[in-house]
A and B are shown apart, each in its own frame.
Chain A
Amino acid sequence: MVSSQMVIYEEEHEQLTLICERLVRDALAKAIFIVDKDGQLVTATGETAGIDTTGLASLVAGSTAATGSLAQMIGEEEFPVHFHEGNSKHLHVSVIGDTLILVVIFDERSSFGLVQLRVKRAYKNMRQIIENVATKAAEGNPDLDLFGEITDDDIDSLFNDAF
């Protein structure tokens, strides 16, 4: 578990955020998130105030995983897109690449068709970036030594403020 790490660097983070910002405008969306399949938030754009983004990320990953299991039960590999229709707000969730999930929140200003169309376009631009993320993560990061000199005292003191 500890051996494999998901790593996002500034460069790809910025590129993904830019694409999401554009997608918010093009799809007339309220907010757009990228989440990794294990439930971690990668980036959030649009009207995110008042949304518990961390909780949202973990629930989206959970529901995507459950949806994937449903797909397999009927002999599909996965459902690359799933959609939750509400009264005034809707959630469009699509799997991008092997590791990430794109979440679009929209309301009556937009429509499923428009979101679907714009997401497809954005997906083309994201593909390369996602590949880069995967390659870099696989390479690991030799200059990262976050934990090299951490002492037992450091570890103990981590808890003092929080609990």
Chain B
Amino acid sequence: MSFINYAQREIILKIVYYGPGLCGKTTNIKFIYSGTNPDARGKLVSLETKQERTLFFDFLPLSLPAIRGFKTRLHLYSVPGQLFYSASRKLIMKGADGVVFVADSQKARKEANIISMEDLKENLDAYGYDIDKIPFVIQYNKRDLPTKMSVEELRADLNPDGKYPDFEASAIAPNGPGVFETLKAVVKQILVELKKTK
């Protein structure tokens, strides 16, 4: 559901970061914020409780150069991961152009990753979307931790057919390896998809 505003000559792409609680969605968005040229970024809106739990969502608007005279803007959202916030999670999914699934590489979060992926598929289903047909990438985050699972194990759980582009990342690291790669990959898929529909 890209948003094209002829009057402002801009096109807005909505990208949603999904994943289990505390997998690093907010950290991804904060890293993107800090790594983006100040001219190209808007204000970061983060609705967190004291326990670092995202209550509602994080929101970061970014602007890319123009395509054929149309400014391309990215609106990044992260959805709260806790089951408790399932209602508000659905709201954010509405109108998304692409989805990034952030998995937590820690062994202890194996189940949480799987449940969250199932939940995502259900949410998409509820809006009549098929995960295999929308721009979708997976990020295995927290690769810096010694308690991490192997990428093979994560793939077997979350991307068994290798259908989705996937990236290793460490969003907390000073140079945030994998964070921008993930974002670029999903934007690229969205643009390719838009190109196809024309």
Chain A interface (Cβ within 8 Å of chain B)?
Answer: 1-10, 13-14, 36-40, 42-43, 52, 54-55, 58-59, 62, 65-66, 69, 144-148, 150, 152, 154-155, 157-159, 161-163
A146 in contact with B11 given A2-B194, A7-B6, A8-B4 (CB within 8 Å): yes
* Contact of B50 with A by CB under 8 A: no
| B197→A2 contact, CB < 8 A | yes
The reply to whether B37 and A155 contact each other, CB–CB distance below 8 Å, is: no
Give the interface of B toward A (CB within 8 A).
Answer: 1-8, 11-12, 14, 32, 35-37, 40-43, 45, 56-57, 59, 61-65, 67-68, 70, 72, 75, 77, 87-88, 91-92, 94-98, 127, 129, 134-135, 180, 184, 187-188, 190-195, 197-198
Taking a contact as CB atoms under 8 Å apart, the answer to whether B91 and A163 are in contact is no
Check A66 against B59 for contact (C-beta < 8 Å). Answer: no
Q: Name the B residues within 8 Å of A7 (CB-CB).
A: 3-6
A69–B61 CA distance with the chains assembled, in angstroms: 25
CB <8 Å contact, B64 and A162: yes
CB of A55 within 8 A of CB of B59, answer yes
| Shortest Cβ distance from B13 into A: residue | A2
Question: Nearest Cβ in chain B — how far from A147, in angstroms?
Answer: 4
Chain B binding surface, main DSSP class: mixed
Instruction: Tell me the bound Cα distance from A13 to B4 in angstroms.
Output: 12
Q: A158, B72: Cβ atoms under 8 Å?
A: yes
Sample of 5 more A-B contacts, CB < 8 Å, known A5-B3, A65-B94: A2-B190, A2-B193, A10-B6, A146-B68, A155-B192
Q: Are A1 and B7 in contact (CB under 8 A)?
A: no
Interchain CB contact under 8 A, A9 and B42: no
B2 touches A5 (CB 8 A): yes
Interface contact A13-B6, CB-CB below 8 Å: yes
Given A1-B1, A13-B6, A146-B67, do A159 and B184 touch, yes or no (CB 8 Å)?
yes
Residue numbers in A under 8 Å from B68 (CB-CB): 146
- Whether B87 contacts A52 by the Cβ 8 Å rule is no
CB distance from B135 to the nearest CB of A (A): 7
Chain A residue at minimal CB-CB distance from B130: A1
Say yes or no: B67 contacts A154, CB within 8 Å: yes
Which residue of chain B is the closest to A38 with respect to CB atoms? B95
